[in-house]
Structure formats: C-alpha cells, structure tokens
Amino acid sequence: MTAEPVIDAQETPATPPPTVRASLSPSRAADFKTCPLLYRFRSIDRLPERPTVEQARGTLVHAVLERLFDLPAAARTPQSAGDLVAPQWDRLVTEQPELATLFAEGDAAGVAEFLRSAAALLEGYFAVEDPRRLEPAEREALISAVVDEELLIRGYLDRLDVAPDGALRVVDYKTGGAPREAFEARALFQLKFYALVLWRTRGVVPRVLRLLYLKDAEVCDYAPDAEELVRFERTVVALWQAIEQATARQDFRPRPSRLCDWCSHQALCPSFGGTPPPFPAAGAGDPLADARSRPAAPGADE
C-alpha cells in the first residue's frame, strides 16, 4: 500500500461531511504547483525543516500584529507594537523551543538585533495602515470549505475585515526579505484560496484581497470576481487530482525555479545531484484522521 496522497491535519472547526476524503491547504497546494517534489518532501515524506531566522521573524511579527488588535483601538500605537515584540518572542520560544536554536547560547546581541529587525518590519506596517481605525472581524482564523464534494480546502488567514455593508477584505502580511516577484504568484494563489473558501461558506466574494508588504511598506490589492473563483475552484480540484495521480504513481518530479534558493531539501533533490528517500509506505487508517501537518500557520510560510 502506498502513502496516502493527503495532506494536512484534520483540525477542522466542524466535522466534514462523509463524502470528504481529503483535505488541502493553500500552502501545500502552492507547494505542488511550485514543485511537485517539494510537495512530496513536505507532505508525504514529512521531512523536517529547520526554521530560518526569516521565518521566525515572520512568525513573530504576525504574533505581534495579532496581539496588537487585542488592545483598545487608541492604544494600537507603534510604541505598543514595539513593546509586544520581546514578550511575544519569549512566548514563541517557550512554545517552540527549536526557535531558540537559531541563536548561539548567550548570543544576546544576536537576539537583540533580531528583535530590532522585527520592530523595523512593524514600522513598515504602521507606514501603510493605522490599526486604530480598524476592527478586524477575524484574526488568524482557520477557515474551510468543501469543494467538488470530496475535497476539504482550508487554511489560516491573517486577518479578515468586514465593512458595514458586509464587504469582505482578506489581509495577508508579508514579512519575507526574498524578492517579491519570486513569491507574489504564490501569495496571490493563497489569497484566492481564502477567497474561494469565504465565497463557498458565506456566499460573498471578497471585495479585496490585500497583500501588505511590511519590508517595503507597500500594499498590493486585488479584486476577485465570481467567474474567476469558479475557474480557480476548477484549478484547485485539478491540482488535487494531479496530486492523487502523482501519489498513485509515486512520481513527484522536481521543477527547479528561483524558489530553489529557499528550499531546505536541495541535498535530496535530483536537480541538485541528490537522491530522494524511498517513497514511504502508507500509514494505516483514515486518510482524514491520521497524523498530518497542520495548515501552515500565519507567518510560517513566507
């Protein structure tokens, strides 16, 4: 028996209907789209990836922005955000001790510089938004929908704003230092994924999909429409079918691109002279219930 083609953890807010037999997050779907072998390494082999300083900074900045909106509106100042940086880092390190290994023991200067760099990204945030004027409807929310009766799609959105007239705005914070053009298609793919889930669950096409690039202090808005989301839904289902076929054939090919520079698995990749490990045998049990990674949490997939 071969590995199940699936995918992501089944920590869904509600029990999926009995027709559902697989789930897919935007991160893992984007992996397959970017490079099928990368998808295999992450979702089937489940190879560990050591967190990078950049990913840790992204997670930290997302955590600070999430907590910032717990404060009363008038208190959401750059000073308040800066004051949250160190306590949030302490919390993250307690919850994820591997983050502490990013810095040599006793490297207080390295940690201090890291915290300063996170604070600098928050300054980029305040350059493009005034959180005192916002009351997000949801933050770091896990959303899901069933498409094609069999496939559960789900993921965490950073923030959802709802206007008084009911219009939805999906906001995604981008903290990475990588060239934006290398990742923008992936970022937009993920936002359309959320738009599709919201449309299918709430019957409303989000008016705006917003990428906030904190390093550059820039905003990129995109307005989807229903026709586009219908096409996108077909794309997601086709992607899923391609994943199933690749799994049945145990055939996940590398697709080298600029994104290889950020791939943790070059040593195992044939495009870099490596050899992938043997294709894993399937674990027993329900493909929706066995151990799988969660959908990438906000900030972890920059």
Which of these, 125, 200, 139, 201, lies nearest to 169 by C-alpha position? 139
CB 27 within 8 A of CB 301: yes
* Binding track over 196-235 against ligand SF4, x by CB under 6 A: ----------------------------------------
Query: What is the nearest approach in angstroms of ligand SF4 to the Cβ of residue 37?
Result: 4
Provide DSSP, the chain.
-BPP---B----SSPPPTT--EEE-HHHHHHHHH-HHHHIIIIIS----PPPHHHHHHHHHHHHHHHHTTS-GGG--HHHHHHHHHHHHHHHHHH-GGGGGGS-TT-HHHHHHHHHHHHHHHHHHHHH--GGG---SEEEEEEEEEETTTEEEEEEEEEEEE-TT--EEEEEEE---S-HHHHHHHHHHHHHHHHHHHHHHHS---SEEEEEETTTTEEEEE---HHHHHHHHHHHHHHHHHHHHHHHHT-------GGGGG-TTGGG-GGGT--PPPPPBPPSS-TTTS--BPPPPTTTT-
* Binding track over 2-41 against ligand SF4, x by CB under 6 A: ---------------------------------x-xx---
Residue 263 binds ligand SF4, judged by CB under 6 A: yes
* Binding track over 264-283 against ligand SF4, x by CB under 6 A: -xx--x-xx-----------
Query: What is the nearest approach in angstroms of ligand SF4 to the Cβ of residue 73?
Result: 43
* Binding track over 230-259 against ligand SF4, x by CB under 6 A: ------------------------xxx--x
Query: What is the nearest approach in angstroms of ligand SF4 to the Cβ of residue 292?
Result: 20
Q: Which amino acid is at 8?
A: D
Q: Which is nearer to ligand SF4, 12 or 266 (CB)?
A: 266
Of 115, 219, 220, 260, the residue at the interface with ligand SF4 (CB under 6 A) is: 260
Query: What is the nearest approach in angstroms of ligand SF4 to the Cβ of residue 188?
Result: 19
Query: What is the nearest approach in angstroms of ligand SF4 to the Cβ of residue 259?
Result: 6
Query: What is the nearest approach in angstroms of ligand SF4 to the Cβ of residue 34?
Result: 7
The count of residues interacting with ligand SF4 (CB under 6 A) is 14
Residue 46 binds ligand SF4, judged by CB under 6 A: no
Residue 174 binds ligand SF4, judged by CB under 6 A: no
Q: Which is nearer to ligand SF4, 57 or 265 (CB)?
A: 265
Residues that bind ligand SF4 (CB under 6 A): 35, 37-38, 254-256, 259-260, 263, 265-266, 269, 271-272
